[in-house]
């Protein structure tokens, strides 16, 4: 295969404006909604089912998002109701307005883990960081000044930007199929970025709805959080990328949750794997001397970490450290300051 054939290609390089849509494939509209963070947008797809629309994800529940939806529903989606909302995974920028659409009569179609996780997090509103969370970040080696600030502030809560979810949903699972926009789609689940993340692979043409599991140009956050401090999401992520490889074709057009639709999925899966295996190699070398989690940004990230991305960088560093620790390539111990120290055992990466 030539180098040109292995390149990532972007058939459409200009995204839709807020409230408008681009027909990215027959019967499939691409919409884009703003996010108040470094990754400043999320992609939504509206699939024409004849008598109504199926939405893939929803965006955050904010006044701006609702206003953009009002414009879209009276503009490119006018004339047909939203009958289904299909959620790829439980993160707020994807599930935020699912409950709002359910209030208007839409069916919620979602992996069971995503539904239960989102519903639990919406109900678990905290005015301050819990003692368990502060202890987790202390053991992780969070910068003491940032840790003190967290102890004194209100944490982010799901309920801040996710509409309450009514009891009741339609489950999708690995190996299921679903009919949308006149096509039969195979459902394949990924893990690592989010548990039981749904992707959809058309049997009728070369389309893949990839959510955050199959993004171009960026790798989604792979993080360890206070709710499961010993998790190994990076191992799950690498296993998922490997499991997708036999299904990936050069001609697939991947419609992701962020950035641009692209062609070149086999190459992209290889890149996603190599991105983290390379990071593990650099981290192993960095751990020749004992390090706290907060000391491990340099070998993992190609940019300086700013205060607004410090938390995401720390949980991703922990994901890589847990991978090395649980695969026997690093040891850890709790130092007198209450923070773990990690050090390489000298074993090569698995």
Q: How far apart are CA 292 and CA 323, in angstroms?
A: 15
Count of domains forming the chain: 1
pLDDT of residue 4: 39
For residue 44, what is the domain's CATH number? 3.60.15.10
Q: In the predicted model, is pLDDT for residue 298 greater than 80?
A: yes
pLDDT of residue 350: 46
Q: Indicate whether 251 belongs to any domain.
A: yes
Taking alpha carbons only, the member of 231, 246, 228 closest to residue 186 is 246
Task: Give mean pLDDT, residues 255-278.
Answer: 98
For residue 208, which phi and psi values (nearest 5 degrees)? -135, 125
pLDDT of residue 347: 54
Give the mean pLDDT of the chain: 95
Q: Indicate whether 175 belongs to any domain.
A: yes
pLDDT of residue 308: 87
Q: Indicate whether 315 belongs to any domain.
A: no
Q: Indicate whether 16 belongs to any domain.
A: yes
Would you list the DSSP string of 5-73?
Answer: GGS-B-S--SPPPTT--EEEETTEEEEEEE-SSSS-EEEEEEEE-SSSEEEE-----SHHHHHHHHHHH
The label of the residue with tokens 């074993």 reads 347
Task: Using pLDDT thresholds of 50, 70 and 90, give the confidence band for residue 38.
Answer: confident
Q: How far apart are CA 71 and CA 108, in angstroms?
A: 22
List the domain range (segments joined by +) for residue 20.
Answer: 4-127+157-287
Residue-wise pLDDT for 168-202, tens only, equals: 999 999 999 999 999 999 999 999 999 999 999 99
Q: Indicate whether 117 belongs to any domain.
A: yes
pLDDT of residue 20: 97
pLDDT of residue 233: 98
Structure-model confidence comparison of residues 37 and 102, the more confident one: 102
Collapsing DSSP states into helix, strand and coil, what is residue 260? coil
Residue-wise pLDDT for 267-277, tens only, equals: 999 999 999 99
Q: Indicate whether 346 belongs to any domain.
A: no
Residue-wise pLDDT for 43-69, tens only, equals: 999 999 999 999 999 999 999 999 999
Q: Indicate whether 304 belongs to any domain.
A: no
Q: How far apart are CA 262 and CA 213, in angstroms?
A: 14
Q: Indicate whether 327 belongs to any domain.
A: no
């Amino acid at each position: 295969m030539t180098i040109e054939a292995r390149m990532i290609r972007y058939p459409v390089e200009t995204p839709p404006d807020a409230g408008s849509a681009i027909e990215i494939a027959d019967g499939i509209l691409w919409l884009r909604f703003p996010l108040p963070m470094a990754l400043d947008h999320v992609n939504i797809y509206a699939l024409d089912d004849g008598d109504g629309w199926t939405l893939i994800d929803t965006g955050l529940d904010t006044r701006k998002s609702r206003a953009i939806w009002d414009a879209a529903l009276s503009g490119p989606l006018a004339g047909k109701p939203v009958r289904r909302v299909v959620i790829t995974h439980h993160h707020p920028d994807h599930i935020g307005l699912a409950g709002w659409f359910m209030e208007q009569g839409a069916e919620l179609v979602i992996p069971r883990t995503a539904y239960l996780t989102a519903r639990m997090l919406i109900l678990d509103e905290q005015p301050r960081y819990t003692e368990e969370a502060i202890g987790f970040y202390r053991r992780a080696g969070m910068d003491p000044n940032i840790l003190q600030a967290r102890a004194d502030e209100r944490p982010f809560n799901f309920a801040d930007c996710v509409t309450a979810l009514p009891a009741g949903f339609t489950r999708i699972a690995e190996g299921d199929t679903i009919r949308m926009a006149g096509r039969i789609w195979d459902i394949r689940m990924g893990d690592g970025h989010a548990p039981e993340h749904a992707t959809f692979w058309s049997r009728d043409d070369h389309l893949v709805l990839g959510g955050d599991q199959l993004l171009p140009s960026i790798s989604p956050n792979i993080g360890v959080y206070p709710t499961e401090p010993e998790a190994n999401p990076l191992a799950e992520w690498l296993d998922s990328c490997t499991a997708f490889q036999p299904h990936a074709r050069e001609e697939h057009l991947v419609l992701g949750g962020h950035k641009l639709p692209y062609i070149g999925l086999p190459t992209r899966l290889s890149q996603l794997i190599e991105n983290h295996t390379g990071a593990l190699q650099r981290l192993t070398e960095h751990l020749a001397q004992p390090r706290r989690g907060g000391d491990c940004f340099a070998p993992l990230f190609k940019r300086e970490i700013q205060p607004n991305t410090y938390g995401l960088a720390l949980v991703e560093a922990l994901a890589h450290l847990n991978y090395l620790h649980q695969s026997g390539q690093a040891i850890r111990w709790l130092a007198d300051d209450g923070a773990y120290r990690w050090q390489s055992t000298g074993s090569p990466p698995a």
